[in-house]
Amino acid sequence: MWAKRRQPLQSKFSSVNDASGLWLAALAMLMVTVLSSAAFLAPQSALLYLALANLLLLVHGLLCRGNIGGILRYIVLQLGFTLLLYVVIHGGQQLHQGAWAVARLLLALLPGWWLTVVIKPQWIGEVLAKIMPVKWAFVVAASINLLPYMTSELRDIYQLQLLRGARIAPRQLLNPLNWYELAYCVIFPLFVQLLKLAQQTATAARSRHFGSHPQPTHWRDPRSHQ
């Protein structure tokens, strides 16, 4: 999952106009698609070069004040779960394969994190609207824009459930018997919150007559015209 996005690309490229921004967004989305796909499709011998490319994106994202903490916590938790499953299934003889699987997952997530940090959501939505139906583009762009909110909600729900005494602390999650409590106390409430948010977003879109025109307008940042 992605961490909270503090400032988009405008902090570094505030003078970029909308036309140039759309080209930047399109190229960035294409690059992210290629890098994320390569994380799963590339041979293990090529992962080092892929890691170097992701390192550049990581540095750039951090310079744009992106927060990588959420991804790191997720990867550590995923690594613990994966290694535990490999121990249970294979008896600890193939732990290195589990570690490589988690490494590929990290390499697949980093480009998407970088995209949400540096590219304006309205640019993403406008680019997607040129290659897919407008309603689909709206859903995808809204989902990307909500990733920081999802991360914040997940963190808040997790902390509240810990205070209530739920057995979901990192050490307690080493016991697979507590995974059900994690799903019941954290994942399910988050899912309910997202359903409510989706309904509110749909209501807001309908109230603005979204979908009534085949070529809707897009938000323009006033600062890009100054």
- Which residues, including other chains, have CB under 8 Å from residue 56's CB and lie 6 or more apart? none
Q: Output the six-digit token pair for 123.
A: 């640019």
Closest CA to 113 of 61, 49, 39: 61
Sign of the alpha-carbon dihedral angle for 29, 122, 149, 210 = negative
68: three-class secondary structure by DSSP: coil
d(C-alpha 53, C-alpha 47), whole Å: 10
pLDDT in 10s for each residue of the chain, 226 residues: 444 444 444 444 444 566 687 888 899 999 999 999 999 999 988 999 999 999 999 999 999 888 888 788 788 878 887 888 888 777 777 788 888 989 999 999 999 889 988 888 778 888 888 888 877 887 777 777 777 778 778 888 888 998 988 888 878 877 878 888 888 898 899 888 888 888 888 888 788 777 676 666 655 554 444 4
Q: Output the six-digit token pair for 59.
A: 């540095």
